[in-house]
Amino acid sequence: MPRPVRFFVMWIGVGLIVRLAALGLWGTFDTEVQKAWSARAATAGVADIYGPPDRELIAAARDRGTSLVAVPTLPVPKTTFRWGSADYFVDYPPGSVLVLWAAGKLYGLVAPGLPNRPLFNAAINVAPLLASIAIAVLLRRSAEDGLGQWRALLFWLNPAVYLAAPVLGYQDPIFAALALAAVLALVRGRHVAAAALVVASALVKPQGALLLPVLAAVLVRETRPRAWLQAALASLVTAALILLPWWTSGYLLSALDGFRRPLSQGTLAPLGLNVWWIAGYAMRWARAGPWPLAEIVTLDAFRDWAGFDPRLVSRVLLAAVTLGNLWLLLRAPRDDRRMIPLAVILQVHAYALLGTSVHENHTFLAVALAPLLFGVWPHARALVAGTSAFLFASLYLTAGFGRRITTQSSLQSLRAAFGVDPSVLVAVAHVAFVAILFVWVARTSSGRVRSIAP
Listed residue (187, 159, 135, 209) closest to 377, CA to CA: 187
Strands 297-298 and 267-268: what pairing? antiparallel
Listed residue (96, 87, 84, 3) closest to 41, CA to CA: 96
Distance CA 442, CA 128 (A): 34
The answer to whether 219 and 198 have CB atoms below 8 angstroms apart is no
Distance CA 92, CA 263 (A): 10
Distance CA 210, CA 206 (A): 8
pTM for the full model? 0.97
Q: What is the DSSP secondary structure assignment for residue 419, as one 8-state letter?
A: S
* Alpha carbon distances (Å) from 240 to 181, 205, 252, 278, 396: 20, 16, 10, 41, 38
Domain ranges of the chain: 1-260, 265-454
Query: Any alpha helices (H) in 144-204, and if so which ranges?
Result: 145-156, 159-162, 172-187, 191-202
Phi, psi of 332 (to 5 degrees): -75, 155
Return per-residue pLDDT of the chain as tens, 454 residues: 678 889 999 999 999 999 999 999 999 999 999 999 999 999 999 999 999 999 998 888 787 777 656 666 678 899 999 999 999 999 999 999 999 999 999 999 999 999 999 999 999 999 999 999 999 999 999 998 799 999 999 999 999 999 999 999 999 999 999 999 999 999 999 999 999 999 999 999 999 999 999 999 999 999 999 999 999 999 999 999 999 999 999 999 999 998 888 777 889 999 999 999 999 999 999 999 999 999 999 999 999 999 999 999 999 999 999 999 999 999 999 999 999 999 999 999 999 999 999 999 999 999 999 999 999 999 999 999 999 999 999 999 999 999 999 999 999 999 999 989 999 999 999 999 999 999 999 999 999 888 875 5
